[in-house]
């Protein structure tokens, strides 16, 4: 997952970087691996600062001061399993045509054919294995094809519309054209979020694009409006233009944003994340009551697994008339385990991150509420912690149904056989994580928990629960393909973590990632030609001659 941000200040003498930096820190939960800002100043010069690390580590007073200009783009990126390569930090830049800067959240699923198109037809070099760089170059190529010295908004809309026809997958993007303005667009299914807001003053309006509305609220921007699926928005110093550049497809925002990813104080597509989590707790309470009655189990206390599930757990406890206790105290200065790459790191982190207060567990039947169960490794560790401090029975209630399929739209989910619920019935999931019982939210109830706040949303992307992928193009071959990449990458990552960076780099497979890895294998295939030693022409194959 990633966070994206664009800002245009009406006063061209004010630098926008401090505010982008502030905004990125509010999006930090969407990615803690790398971050970056590019601004555009006088004469259309771009100033950039991007690197691996958290916003507070990368941006200090000195680095922010160097980012000159009143418009800019920012990005936070979550770990791409195995990639320590800050060449992949965003925003990306291409000089031609006109100078474009680009930040992307999501994942493309037809990277193989797109890379081939880049090489064979567009003759553009893609340096990293990031699908975001690919997407940027498709956009640039489409703009290039206008062949014009100066382009207008029509040309930009046309280029984005054309791009939407070429690419498949999830993408919410913010771009900037040198000396011109900022642009945002969202894939035709609207899987990933991005919206816009305005800060009005007598002197003029400032405009913002951001992944989540919380950024706008915190910076005094109002009139939050989600970019529509298949829509593009261009903001210049003199105008705001919006256009539907792709015919409407099924709007299907990713329901996992509400379950886990987004901040509770954000409103996405008219739905308060906080309210939807309250509703998830209410709905789950009904399910829990029913199951406990049937199984004749008594629960003494409801304890949330911090932080995401707190909201739901409190509502659930109230509805079941059970005491709610904060039994786990979080060490706030350690990152979220879900988005840390590499299994080993994840295991160690749970206990570093949480402490169980014996007082609230001893001799009790405990109902732990969690937002979801992915690998089950975290749940297993937490359940063990509860038992270690004296819990009699541990029952787990999950706000989301069993996750049985990988996410291919930009959330870094493990491959199917790493998902504890894949191919397992619920009782056997309980056994696998060491719980006495696991109670899952049903999918219709989860959907209703979100949808009740905006009933005009007719579908959600629920592929991690159902294995049905809204964009099409995700078949067994594709899933096995990304899984094999992933496996390679995890191996590379472990090598990298133990200090053996050379192994990672040398394989060229170390730079893995968020499904973006999809780029890697193709490269390997094309490489085969170069390896014959016959082909000495310039092109993609030669660019990747490292293997």
Ligand X SMILES: *[C@@H]1O[C@H](CO)[C@@H](O)[C@H](O)[C@H]1NC(C)=O
Which residues between 410 and 449 bind ligand X (CB under 6 A)? none
> In sequence order, what are the residues at sequence separation of 6 or more whose Cβ sits closer than 8 angstroms to the Cβ of residue 464?
256, 403, 404, 405, 406, 407, 411, 413
Tell me how far, at minimum, the Cβ of 20 lies from ligand X, in Å.
21
Coil/strand/helix, residue 411: coil
Which residues between 70 and 129 bind ligand X (CB under 6 A)? 85, 87, 127-128
Of 203 and 538, nearer to ligand X (C-beta) is 538
Burial of 430 (0-12, 13-18, 19+ CB in 10 A): buried
Of 277 and 451, nearer to ligand X (C-beta) is 451
Rounded-to-10 torsion of CA 165, 166, 171, 173: -90
Long-range interactions of 419-428: CB distance < 8 A, separation 24+: 419/374, 419/375, 419/376, 420/373, 420/374, 420/375, 420/376, 420/377, 420/379, 421/373, 421/376, 426/402
CA-to-CA separations, 248 to 14, 104, 189, 259, 472, in angstroms, rounded: 38, 21, 8, 26, 16
Tell me how far, at minimum, the Cβ of 454 lies from ligand X, in Å.
4
Binding residue for ligand X, selected from 262, 317, 420, 457, defined by CB under 6 A: 457
Q: Which stretch binds ligand X (CB under 6 A): 99-107, 199-207, 454-462, 495-503?
A: 454-462
Residue identified by tokens 């800019």 is: 72
Tell me how far, at minimum, the Cβ of 239 lies from ligand X, in Å.
22
Quote the CA–CA distance of 315 and 251 in Å, as a whole number: 29
Q: Is 15 labeled as ligand-binding?
A: no
When CB distances to ligand X are compared, the closest residue is 270
Q: Which stretch binds ligand X (CB under 6 A): 52-60, 332-340, 419-427, 450-458?
A: 450-458
Binding residue for ligand X, selected from 207, 251, 324, 361, defined by CB under 6 A: 251
Is 2 a residue of the active site?
A: yes
Of 369 and 457, nearer to ligand X (C-beta) is 457
Tell me how far, at minimum, the Cβ of 32 lies from ligand X, in Å.
21
Of 251 and 258, nearer to ligand X (C-beta) is 251
Tell me how far, at minimum, the Cβ of 251 lies from ligand X, in Å.
5
270 binds ligand X (CB under 6 A): yes
- CA–centroid distance for 446 within its chain: 20
Size of site (CB under 6 A) for ligand X: 11
Which residues between 122 and 181 bind ligand X (CB under 6 A)? 127-128
Residue identified by tokens 């555009």 is: 40
Q: How many CB atoms lie within 10 A of CB 139?
A: 24
Q: Is 308 labeled as ligand-binding?
A: yes
Quote the CA–CA distance of 59 and 62 in Å, as a whole number: 8
Residues at the contact surface with ligand X, assessed by CB under 6 A: 85, 87, 127-128, 226, 251, 269-270, 454, 456-457
Catalytic residues: 2
């Amino acid at each position: 997952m990633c966070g994206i941000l664009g800002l245009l200040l009406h006063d061209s003498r004010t630098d926008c970087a401090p505010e982008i930096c502030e905004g990125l820190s509010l999006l930090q939960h969407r990615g803690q691996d790398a971050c970056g800002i590019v601004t555009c100043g006088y004469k259309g010069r771009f100033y950039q600062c991007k690197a691996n690390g958290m916003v507070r580590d990368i941006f200090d007073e000195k680095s922010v001061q160097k980012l000159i200009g009143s418009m800019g783009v920012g990005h936070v990126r979550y770990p791409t399993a195995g990639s320590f390569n800050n060449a992949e930090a965003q925003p990306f830049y291409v000089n031609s045509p006109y100078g474009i800067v680009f930040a992307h959240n999501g994942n493309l699923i037809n990277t193989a054919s797109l890379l081939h198109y880049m090489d064979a037809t567009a003759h553009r070099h893609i340096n990293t294995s990031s699908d975001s760089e690919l997407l940027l170059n498709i956009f640039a190529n489409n703009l290039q094809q206008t062949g014009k010295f100066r382009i207008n908004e029509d040309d930009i809309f046309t280029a984005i519309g054309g791009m939407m026809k070429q690419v498949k997958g999830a993408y919410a993007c913010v771009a900037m054209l040198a000396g011109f303005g900022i642009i945002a667009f969202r894939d035709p299914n609207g899987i990933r979020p991005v919206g816009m807001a305005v800060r009005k003053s007598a002197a003029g309006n400032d405009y913002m694009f951001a992944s989540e509305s919380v950024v706008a609220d915190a910076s005094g921007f109002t009139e939050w409006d989600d970019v529509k699926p298949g829509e593009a928005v261009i903001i210049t110093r003199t105008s705001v233009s919006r256009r539907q550049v792709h015919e409407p497809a099924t709007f299907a925002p990713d329901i996992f944003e509400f379950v886990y990813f987004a901040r509770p104080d954000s409103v996405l597509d008219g739905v308060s994340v906080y309210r939807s989590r309250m509703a998830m707790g209410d709905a789950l309470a009904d399910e829990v009551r029913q199951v406990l009655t049937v199984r004749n189990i008594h629960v003494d206390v409801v304890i949330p697994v911090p932080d995401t599930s707190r909201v739901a757990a409190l509502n659930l406890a109230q509805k079941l008339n059970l005491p709610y206790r904060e039994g786990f105290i979080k060490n706030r200065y350690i990152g979220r385990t879900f988005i840390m790459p590499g299994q080993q790191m994840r295991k160690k982190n749970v206990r570093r991150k949480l402490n169980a207060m014996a007082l609230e567990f001893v001799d009790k039947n405990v109902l732990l509420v969690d937002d979801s169960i992915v690998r089950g490794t975290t749940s297993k560790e937490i359940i063990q912690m509860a038992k270690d401090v004296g819990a009699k029975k541990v029952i787990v209630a999950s706000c989301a149904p069993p996750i049985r399929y990988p996410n291919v739209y930009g959330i870094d989910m493990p491959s199917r056989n790493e998902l504890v619920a894949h191919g397992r019935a619920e009782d056997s999931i309980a056994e696998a994580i060491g719980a006495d019982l696991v109670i899952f939210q049903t999918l219709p109830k989860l959907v209703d928990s979100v949808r009740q706040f905006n009933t005009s949303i007719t579908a959600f992307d629920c592929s991690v629960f159902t294995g049905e992928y809204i964009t099409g193009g995700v078949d067994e071959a594709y899933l096995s393909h990304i899984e094999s990449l992933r496996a390679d990458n995890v191996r590379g990552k472990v090598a990298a973590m133990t200090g053996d960076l050379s192994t990672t780099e040398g394989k060229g497979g170390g730079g893995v990632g968020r499904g973006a890895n999809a780029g890697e294998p193709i490269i390997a295939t094309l490489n085969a030609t170069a390896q014959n030693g016959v082909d000495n022409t310039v092109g993609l194959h030669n660019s990747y001659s490292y293997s």
